Amino acid sequence: MSSPPTTKGSVISKVLVLGLDGALQAGFLARASGTCFSYSLYTSLGIGIGVTRFEHRGFVDITLQLWSLPHHEQWQRTIASFTKGRSATVLVVRPDEVARIPEIVSILERPDGEPVTIVQVGQEPVDETKTAIITDVFARSVLTHNNASIPDVLMCLGDLIMDSVQRQRIDMFLIPPEDCPAAIPERDFESGLLNSEVEVQAIRSLATSLGLECDDDECFIPLAKGSAVVNLWTASVKFYPILCEMCENKCTRKSSICIVSTHNGWSRGDLGEKALLTMAKIYALSTGDLPKDVVSQLNASASCAKFRASSEYDSTAVQEVLSALGYRPYESRWTLLDEAMKRVLVGKLSADAYDTLNRLLQKALTRCTH
């Protein structure tokens, strides 16, 4: 292993929890996270989120965000969007489900290069057939740990995250069923409309550890095309585009960004599901690990058809800034005729059709200018 760091640090990592039985995954999540887990997305997608913290080998404090994702063929594409940004994956299976591991990991892009740990809930020995299946999927040897515990699994995850050498094999932990019983989340009817002061302190602590600024009520997250502001009490997200700062119009746009539209669900422990959701939003925005629909919302909010550069700024400097941010001036975009000519050149549109389109556009332009 690599030499330990001289000063103690901290690491926050996302870990997937996959399997065939959502209740068994929930049991693992509950035992691994203690009381700090949430099922705010369980009713719609069957997703659970847990947080666990531990000291790894005496040199670093590791915080794991455990994302339990269900196995649903009809939701495969939707569920796959939640796999981004992961540092490792845990497979939670029963002995008779080991043969279906190739099916479970089909949601991952490249299972053979994935940092993976397998948890078998049950002490049935791992025979050569099962070993061959695992080796074939991940292209690595298998090391079996009998009579293991969930803390053993967490420590192994820490090794996978901190040391790439550990990824050259697959660690398979055989855990007694009583140490990882299946669990059905209980509904929490006492969750309030706002995060509590204790929860806000925990959220602010996470934001500070990510290098973000906070005041009493909000967390400020700089993005490429503006700033996101997350309310620490309500979890709402506002986006302020940088475009507005250089515009002579003083409309000062602020757009609401929907990352998860509901906060109703199940939660347990000191941190309610809404507090965990607030943390997840801050973490996702700060790391850029965002679903495509959120990226689309941010891009749409960052653009404005009414933008006019303020006279307070040098026009050349404004254009350079906008170009660096990925904005294109309207004049540089392809016109309809440009697109038509491209099709003519590749044989997808006849020259006669192009001439007809050109005449129609010229007539329309003449009407508009008279």
Q: For residue 282, with 0-12 CB atoms within 10 Å meaning exposed, 13-18 middle and 19 or more buried, which class applies? A: buried
Lookup result for tokens 């990352």: 259
Residues 249 and 345 in one domain: no
pLDDT band at 128; cut points 50, 70, 90: very high
- Please state, rounded to an integer, the average pLDDT across all residues of the chain: 79
Compute the average pLDDT of residues 267-281.
75
Q: Is residue 50 part of a domain?
A: yes
Residues 173 and 292 in one domain: no
Residues 171 and 210 in one domain: no
Q: Which of these ranges, 15-29, 130-144, 335-349, has the smallest mean pLDDT?
A: 335-349
pLDDT band at 8; cut points 50, 70, 90: low
Distances (CA, A) of 176 to 179, 181, 184, 269, 286: 5, 9, 19, 25, 39
Considering the chain, what percentage of its residues have pLDDT values greater than 90?
27
Above 90 in pLDDT, residue 213? yes
Residues 107 and 134 in one domain: yes
**pLDDT at residue 116, rounded to an integer:** 92
Q: Are 98 and 130 in contact (CB under 8 A)?
A: yes
Residues 97 and 203 in one domain: no
Q: Are 275 and 195 in contact (CB under 8 A)?
A: yes
Considering the chain, what percentage of its residues have pLDDT values greater than 70?
75
Residue 348 sits in which domain range? 334-368
**pLDDT at residue 1, rounded to an integer:** 46
Q: Is residue 215 part of a domain?
A: yes
Structure tokens belonging to residue 10: 């901290």
Residues 157 and 19 in one domain: yes
pLDDT band at 253; cut points 50, 70, 90: low
The count of residues in the chain is 370
User: pLDDT digit string (tens) for 70-108?
Assistant: 887 656 777 788 888 898 999 999 999 999 999 999 888
Tally the domains of the chain: 3
Residues 47 and 132 in one domain: yes
Residues 19 and 163 in one domain: yes
Residues 154 and 201 in one domain: no
pLDDT band at 332; cut points 50, 70, 90: very low
Compute the average pLDDT of residues 239-251.
77
* pTM of the full structure: 0.52
Q: Where are the beta strands (DSSP E) in the chain?
A: 9-19, 37-41, 47-56, 60-68, 86-93, 116-121, 141-145, 169-175, 213-214, 218-223, 226-231, 237-241, 255-256, 266-268
Residue 313 vs residue 25, higher pLDDT? 25
The answer for residues whose C-beta is within 8 angstroms of residue 335's C-beta and 6 or more apart is none
